[in-house]
Chain A
Amino acid sequence: MRATAEQLRALRQEVAGLERWQAEAQPRRVALGHPEMDAALGGGLEPGRLHEVFAAEPGDAASASGFAAMLAARLGGGILWLRQEQAGRQGGALHAPGLCEIGIDPARLILGVLPDPLAVLTAAGEAARCPGVGVVVAELWRTPRVLDLTATRRLSLAAETSGASVLLLRVEAEARPTAAQSRWSVGTAASVPLEAGAPGYPALSVALTRHRGGPPGGPWQVEWDRDGASFRAWGGGGAALSGPPLPAAAHG
């Protein structure tokens, strides 16, 4: 009887080892839908990692947070969005009907508004350890001192262990060395106009400024397709093009 139990344990270990090997060999990737972006990422964005999203310019806060929301929509699962009180005053409060318009059901999202960057990072660390969370968005304005390499490494390790993805949303911030898997710089782009010159679908100018295990890429002009919940090339919506894409904004 004991021999059987030991055999069973050995078998289990072997199977677990195989599974781990498989998991390491082929990390799961979530394709973003835009072929060039996916190619630059080697197939798609890795869930369970730390990714940084920078607003290219202070005025691009809404574009950057839109991009983070779109990535969260692609990655799936419950979303915990952590902000500072200051962010709501400067950049406007997160508006649930606007989340609907991007394709995120607000019922999936819990918003945390915290007093200071340290509280945001602490809460993000706690959330990143929780496997029941799909995406943790931590929005930090400027460059707080508490956000150093150690803090990001801690977040990154927690995300890898639990499988939750962490998106660090940075506005008016300067890039510092971090343990992030990828770093994006997001600016706005002119949309493809609809009938009667109406502003069209969300259009962004996105650059991959840093990527582990690959060269940086972009910038790309992308459009967000809410109904398909994916990115597509600018003007891919089939609307009439009225002019060439504008040059991308400066990337930091």
Chain B
Amino acid sequence: MAVETQRGAMRIVASDRRALALDIMPGLALADARARVPDLLAEAHDAHADRLWLERLAELCDRYTPMVALAAPDGLLLDVTGCVHLFGDEAGLAADAARQMAGRGLHVRKAFAGTPEAALALARFHRGPVVDEAQAVRGLPVAALHLPADTALALRRAGLATIGDLAARPTAPLSARFGAETTTQLARLLGRADSRITPRRAPPALVFAHPFAEPVGRMEAVLGALGELAAAAGAALEARGMGGRRFEARLYRSDGEVRDLAVETGAPIRDPAVLLRLFDARIDALADPIDPGFGFDLVRLCVPAIEPLTVAQLALGEAADPQGSLSALVDRLSTRFGRERFRRFLPRDSHIPEQAQRAVPALAAGPAHWPAPEAGEPPLRPLHLFHPPQPIEVLSEVPEGPPLRFRWRGGTHDVLRQEGPERIGAEWWHDVRRPGEPRDYYRVEDKRGRRFWIFRHGVHQAAPAPRWYLHGLFP
């Protein structure tokens, strides 16, 4: 039994079957309940933990259908359209679900119906087996409509106790007296209005499942099943002329744990061999190895989204080697070391040197067009750029003049040649109120022949005084 402080008193939020048998209902004050049954066991209600528990159960029900929605606080809605045959029939699916839930110490009430609202209402308010769905729905109390308390009270006072009483009446007067919500809910419950569930995650484009008759603990067998699924996925994608860029494998453990493995590629693929190598790399790179526990009883491979993939025609005599291309290599390396680690440069239209490029994960971007530098010019931008720029101490003849000598990382550099300044203004249009200070860049070469890119930040005779930074190194 769980209690929570509501309206200044400890009230019961949920009670178990034995408490219900003693007529201790949710809504009762704890003090009243204790007066009736002194040795009541009460726990503080933790809505968040309940929610997490429901999420985990939803994860578990993912094995029946990808369309799972939460009906908080205590329900799950599954759209099993087209999935029932995998378990024989509706009764088979329900029995399997009941067995799974019973393994977790849960008592389940379930119902099948044509609309999500009807299923939920039947599960919550109907007693006994459902023979005729329409008849059963009509027999439900009006509380099944999930209306505000005052509307439900008004309905009861008007003598309308069941859904059947409401359904027999014309909708316009009902709507006028009890609000539009009443008739909308009624229509949904009776299947007169179309109603859908919002699944927890978007259903994938393609799903392939491999159930095991017995839980399997050996990873080789699991990988073998994954191989079969990859082959099936490859064949299905080829038949459609499509490929996938993300593949998700879910391993369902017999005790309800679910392990997700996902691989991603830069270009659409469908070759099962390539896919399996990526999964192998993914499994090798896992920080904590997969724990089979008492074994897996289902492996599923999802392709969340598919893209057109046309077969490139090979030139005569050219060997087909999809493993050898640079993009395949980047797929493998990104899978192994992390997609953020391998990047491609994209140009960005900005004067600020450190913002002139964007490094995006190589999986996410194709090659971009970079403008070619002007012929005959020496390099005007450094090969190595420090971010943030390194503060240096500079000696110059006049405050606004070029640098003569500077100190950086404990070494002194005498400037022999220099070119500048190249003034790069701050991008004032980003923040008009606080325009940044301009930078005066110099390309300098010291006596030993090292070339640096240094700049003065700020203007002379302004407060604070300008400061010097080293920003980059030229080869």
Identify which of A11-19, A20-28, A59-67, A152-160 touches chain B. A59-67
Q: Report how far A199 CA is from B448 CA in the complex, Å.
A: 12
* A189-230 interface code vs B (CB 8 A; 1 in, 0 out): 111011011111111110000000000000000001011000
Residues in chain A within 8 A of chain B (CB atoms): 59-63, 65-67, 69-70, 78, 80, 91-102, 105-114, 119, 123, 126-127, 130-133, 162, 188-191, 193-194, 196-205, 224, 226-227, 246, 249
Asked whether B104 is an interface residue with its Cβ less than 8 Å from the other chain, the reply is no
Asked whether B125 is an interface residue with its Cβ less than 8 Å from the other chain, the reply is no
Q: Report how far A113 CA is from B443 CA in the complex, Å.
A: 28
Cβ of B474 and Cβ of A189 under 8 Å apart? no
Q: Report how far A92 CA is from B474 CA in the complex, Å.
A: 11
Nearest CB of chain B from residue A90's CB, rounded to whole Å: 10
Asked whether B128 is an interface residue with its Cβ less than 8 Å from the other chain, the reply is no
Asked whether B445 is an interface residue with its Cβ less than 8 Å from the other chain, the reply is yes
Cβ of B383 and Cβ of A111 under 8 Å apart? no
B residues near A191, Cβ cutoff 8 Å? 378, 417, 445, 449, 451
Q: Report how far A191 CA is from B448 CA in the complex, Å.
A: 10
Cβ of B475 and Cβ of A204 under 8 Å apart? yes
Nearest CB of chain A from residue B337's CB, rounded to whole Å: 6
Cβ of B449 and Cβ of A112 under 8 Å apart? no
Residues in chain B within 8 A of chain A (CB atoms): 321, 323-330, 332-333, 336-337, 341-345, 347, 353, 356-357, 359, 362, 367-373, 375-376, 378-387, 411, 416-419, 443-445, 448-451, 472-475
Query: Assuming A80-B330, A97-B357, A110-B344, what are 10 further A-B pairs, CB within 8 angstroms?
Result: A59-B411, A62-B475, A96-B356, A105-B370, A107-B368, A126-B332, A131-B321, A190-B448, A199-B417, A199-B445
A residues near B344, Cβ cutoff 8 Å? 106-107, 109-111
Nearest CB of chain A from residue B259's CB, rounded to whole Å: 25
A residues near B337, Cβ cutoff 8 Å? 112, 114, 119, 123
* CB closest residue in chain A, given B367: A107
Cβ of B378 and Cβ of A200 under 8 Å apart? yes
Q: Report how far A191 CA is from B443 CA in the complex, Å.
A: 12
User: A132 contacts which of B329, B345, B385 (Cβ < 8 Å)?
Assistant: B329
Cβ of B345 and Cβ of A109 under 8 Å apart? yes
Cβ of B325 and Cβ of A67 under 8 Å apart? no
Q: Report how far A99 CA is from B379 CA in the complex, Å.
A: 9
A residues near B375, Cβ cutoff 8 Å? 227
Cβ of A62 and Cβ of B473 under 8 Å apart? yes
Q: Report how far A96 CA is from B343 CA in the complex, Å.
A: 12
Cβ of A126 and Cβ of B385 under 8 Å apart? no
Q: Report how far A59 CA is from B451 CA in the complex, Å.
A: 11
The verdict on A96 contacting B357 (CB below 8 Å), with A111-B345, A227-B375 known, is yes
Cβ of B329 and Cβ of A198 under 8 Å apart? no
Q: Report how far A93 CA is from B345 CA in the complex, Å.
A: 12
Q: Which of B332, B362, B383, B448: most chain A Cβ within 10 A?
A: B383
The verdict on A197 contacting B324 (CB below 8 Å), with A111-B344, A127-B333 known, is no
User: B329 contacts which of A80, A111, A197 (Cβ < 8 Å)?
Assistant: A80
Cβ of B383 and Cβ of A102 under 8 Å apart? yes
Instruction: Enumerate 19 A-B pairs (CB-CB under 8 Å) in ascending A order.
Output: A59-B450, A62-B473, A62-B475, A67-B475, A80-B330, A91-B384, A92-B384, A95-B353, A96-B357, A97-B356, A100-B381, A106-B370, A110-B362, A111-B345, A113-B341, A126-B336, A131-B324, A191-B445, A198-B418
B residues near A190, Cβ cutoff 8 Å? 416, 445, 448-449
Q: Report how far A112 CA is from B333 CA in the complex, Å.
A: 9
* CB closest residue in chain B, given A199: B445
Nearest CB of chain B from residue A118's CB, rounded to whole Å: 11
Q: Report how far A111 CA is from B334 CA in the complex, Å.
A: 11
Cβ of A126 and Cβ of B329 under 8 Å apart? yes
Cβ of A93 and Cβ of B475 under 8 Å apart? no
Cβ of B333 and Cβ of A92 under 8 Å apart? no
Q: Which of B359, B379, B385, B451: most chain A Cβ within 10 A?
A: B379
